[in-house]
Structure 1
Amino acid sequence: MTDYLIRPVRADEWQRARAIRLDALRDPAAPLAYLDTYEAAVARPDEAWQEWSARVSEGGAAGRQFIAEAPDGSWAGSITVIVERPSDELRFGAPAKVDQTHIVGVYVRPEARGTGVTEELFRAGVEWSWALPDPVVQRVRLYVHEDNGRAEAFYRRFGFVATGVRVPVPGVDGLDGADGAMEVEYEIPRATA
């Protein structure tokens, strides 16, 4: 792997977080990978991006966004891990039955794919999840579109297993969820000693 620094995004980096998200939404795989569109994201006001970055930054309590920073300071990829509790309002998927984290917004720029960046981003997100003192996370989950075989293969190699839970792809921000497509839940449960 090239010398990438994997670190949490800082709240004041909201413009860079916005830029990498917009790049992700222009990727050819975006319709299978994200429940968002470029058009909807680019229309969001700066305040929405600032609030999001504050929530998932190094000091945020709602989750953590990790980025892979190249030696030249550019961002090669990003992953976001959201904390979910059974008492939380459901954002997407099946309701949380235990304290867990949910991986979303995975993106690695094409030129960095195959270099180990994705593995390092996932390692950071999963390790952060297990290290949380409150809540004590019982599992790390994610959803993948049933037609996104490349992503499914990576998740399995990394150690995620399908749970059997499938949910319809919702119609969100201009995406048509009426085609019957499904999202498949994968998890890594906390190891028991």
Structure 2
Amino acid sequence: MPYSIRRITGTEHRELRAIRLEALRDSPTAFGSTYEDTAALPEDVWRRQAAVGASSEESATFIAADEAGTWVGIAGVEPVPDVPDTVCVHSVYVSPQHRGPAGPAAGLMTASIRHAQVHTDVGWLTLGVHENNERALAFYRRFGFVSTGKVVPYVLNPSERLLILGYPDFRS
């Protein structure tokens, strides 16, 4: 199935909310917020997130849509405020029925990486993945991400860990 990968528009806050809530229902430990907290966010927060994802120079949100135009995936990229010289891929999600080698995950990652390469002036591209998310770890490794050796507590359960992966070919 062909997918279109594109940057979100500033008016797509309802679609953004829907795909994020789907992601949290499907993969609750893959993200740093809960379904309940995210569902409770007011509309102006979603409007602001869509606007930033659509128009920020350094940050961007990309979506994958199927032939019917239905959103089936999402990924974002943005600088890490607390880690100088670093930009991070985040919120990567693909609906279960669209996962696999023919799915849009690689396209979402490529768009995110390319945006960071063109629109940021940092030395590091990273992402965090839950230690128990073997499927995501395998995907990111196949895509070229490697362990940085850094581990941070998982925000929703500090007894669990996020592994920080880096993309060594970021500036190649």
For normalisation by structure 2, the TM-score amounts to 0.93
* 1:139–1:190 Cα contact (<8 Å) kept: no
Q: Distance in 1 between matches of 2:23 and 2:171?
A: 36
Q: Distance in 2 between matches of 1:191 and 1:46?
A: 35
Residue 23 of structure 2 is aligned to residue 24 of structure 1? yes
Structure 2 gaps, min length 5: none
In the TM superposition, 1:94-109 aligns within 5 A as 96-98=83-85, 100-109=86-95
* CA displacement, residues 29-64 of structure 1 (integer Å, 9 cap, x when unaligned): 322x0111111111110001111111111x223510
Aligned length: 171
* 1:62–1:83 Cα contact (<8 Å) kept: yes
User: What's 1:93 paired with?
Assistant: none
Q: Distance in 2 between matches of 1:117 and 1:13?
A: 19
* 1:108–1:118 Cα contact (<8 Å) kept: yes
User: What's 1:14 paired with?
Assistant: 13
User: What's 1:122 paired with?
Assistant: 109
In the TM superposition, 1:151-166 aligns within 5 A as 151-166=136-151
Q: Distance in 2 between matches of 1:161 and 1:191?
A: 12
* 1:5–1:68 Cα contact (<8 Å) kept: yes
Residue 68 of structure 2 is aligned to residue 54 of structure 1? no
Letter in 1 for 2:63: I
Letter in 2 for 1:30: P
Q: Distance in 1 between matches of 2:131 and 2:170?
A: 27
Which of 127, 136, 140 is the equivalent residue of 1:142? 127
Q: Distance in 1 between matches of 2:18 and 2:103?
A: 22
* 1:161–1:187 Cα contact (<8 Å) kept: yes
Letter in 2 for 1:107: Y
In the TM superposition, 1:34-113 aligns within 5 A as 34-57=31-54, 59-84=55-80, 88=81, 90=82, 96-98=83-85, 100-113=86-99
TM-superposed CA distance for 1:147, in Å, is 1.1
Structure 1 gaps, min length 5: 91-95, 172-176
RMSD: 1.6
Q: Distance in 2 between matches of 1:155 and 1:109?
A: 17
* CA displacement, residues 98-118 of structure 1 (integer Å, 9 cap, x when unaligned): 2x3211111101111112310
Q: Distance in 2 between matches of 1:74 and 1:67?
A: 10
Q: Distance in 2 between matches of 1:192 and 1:52?
A: 27
* 1:137–1:190 Cα contact (<8 Å) kept: no
Q: Secondary structure at the match of 1:130?
A: helix
* 1:6–1:67 Cα contact (<8 Å) kept: yes
TM-superposed CA distance for 1:137, in Å, is 2.8
